[in-house]
Amino acid sequence: MTINSGFKVIQSGIFSLIEDAGRFGQHGIGLTTGGPLDREAFRWANRLCGDQQTAAAIEITVGGLVLESTVNTTIAVTGATIPLSINQQSRALWQSHQVKVGDRIELGFASSGSRGYFAVAGGFTINPIFNSAATVPREALGGLHRDGTALQAGDFIPCSESLSAPQQRVPDSHRPDYSSNSTVLRVVLGYQQQAFSHISKQLFFSSEYKVTESSDRMGFRLKGPGIKSTLDGILSEGICLGAIQVPADGQPIVLLNDRQTIGGYPKLGSVLSLDIGKLAQLLPGGILRFEAISIEQAHNLLLLDQQRFADTVLEQVGLDE
């Protein structure tokens, strides 16, 4: 690897962040996990570029990223439907592509979904902080400059050269469809769920909620029928990924990757991690429903998902495609 190999950021797009799988084991000093909001799309992008499930990639919110390659390597873009071109030639998403020195890679703006993932063979070479490259702007930690800043025009993101590899794509049956801007989130009941009345829970699980504008990597604020617990507040306690927090106004907030590690609002339970990506792909106005599952079902779903991912064979792509 030479120090000059990598990608120049020509345009940063709306909001593009370096993310690896996340920063774990640091809650004791108040650090959140960060990492890709849509873990599913992230790991497919990495899988297309090699056997690398957790390598540092770019999370592109909505689009607009333009890069110039100074390296010969393999790339892939998955997630939201964002037009991708290499040297002004349109290229498929969910598929690996060879790029060479001097190539210009342009991403347009999402027509469905909201987060895309740009991975490269071997991952981007990022100096980790607290063992992770994940960018958490709120904590001013991680990313290319280790200070939590999003990518900016003029940045240079290093990565290794890589030998040309056969083009592969994710089978259609494994590609999610974000076009309806609606989804169902599975929920494991927990935390203070007993402080919510039976009627409140029925209302929650039988109603539609809308994604509001106040939704970001910390959490998605929803709007719909208000639900009430018998608690005004609780002593601050640890918050896990996907926790559904219900403040006094009764409007639920689903806490995501950049959530605070502790908080004092009552919580109903947590959204299954496999569904967090589907939520994160929704745009403001997106519609969602909740469905309760048991902890055993959640556990089985996680194991099945892992097995399904491992068993999936990527399709080989002919050169003319």
Residues that bind other proteins (CB under 8 A): 24-31, 129-130, 138-141, 146, 188-191, 234-243, 260-263, 267, 269-270, 272-273, 295, 298-299, 302-303, 306
DSSP state of 314: P
**Rounded to whole angstroms, how far apart are CA atoms 121 and 220?**
32
Q: Which is nearer to other proteins, 115 or 267 (CB)?
A: 267
For residues 267 and 244, the answer to whether their CB atoms sit within 8 Å is yes
Q: Which is nearer to other proteins, 64 or 269 (CB)?
A: 269
Min dist CB 255 to other proteins, Å, is: 10
Min dist CB 123 to other proteins, Å, is: 21
**Rounded to whole angstroms, how far apart are CA atoms 289 and 155?**
40
Neighbours of 63 (CB within 10 A): 24
Q: Which is nearer to other proteins, 120 or 136 (CB)?
A: 136
**Rounded to whole angstroms, how far apart are CA atoms 250 and 222?**
10
Name the residue with tokens 């617990």. Answer: 229
Amino acid 263 reads: G
Q: Which is nearer to other proteins, 29 or 313 (CB)?
A: 29
Burial of 320 (0-12, 13-18, 19+ CB in 10 A): exposed
Min dist CB 280 to other proteins, Å, is: 16
Name the residue with tokens 């990223």. Answer: 65
Min dist CB 297 to other proteins, Å, is: 9
Q: Which is nearer to other proteins, 92 or 274 (CB)?
A: 274
Min dist CB 245 to other proteins, Å, is: 12
